[in-house]
Amino acid sequence: MSASDEEYLISLRGLGNAKIIYNSAVDTLHIVIDEEEADKAILLENNIIVRIKNGRIIEIEIQDVSKIIQE
């Protein structure tokens, strides 16, 4: 974690915890559900990347998040 990161831990109830990390240096928000290595990554609209392992979402990355929030 760098000095430009803000990190929060939230409970997903029966699913465990997720880490929410915002990196202001690159304006990227990560929602990390599981820290495993992904099998594949899918690029969606608006620079959103979904990482998948064994058919389940393990991480969501939103690039240029401040631009998306302002829309």
Q: Is the pLDDT of residue 2 over 70?
A: no
How would DSSP label each residue in 4-24? TEEEEEEE-GGG-EEEEEEET
- Distance (Å, whole) CA 12 – CA 2: 25
- Give the pLDDT band (50/70/90) at residue 21: very high
pLDDT tier at 1 (50, 70, 90 boundaries)?
low
pLDDT tens sequence across 29-67: 999 999 999 999 999 988 999 999 999 999 999 999 998
pLDDT at 46: 85
Neighbours of 50 (CB within 10 A): 16
Residue predicted with more confidence, 7 or 3: 7
The letter for the amino acid at 30 is: H
Kindly report the number of other CB atoms within 10 A of residue 11's CB atom.
Answer: 9
Burial of 20 (0-12, 13-18, 19+ CB in 10 A): middle
pTM: 0.83
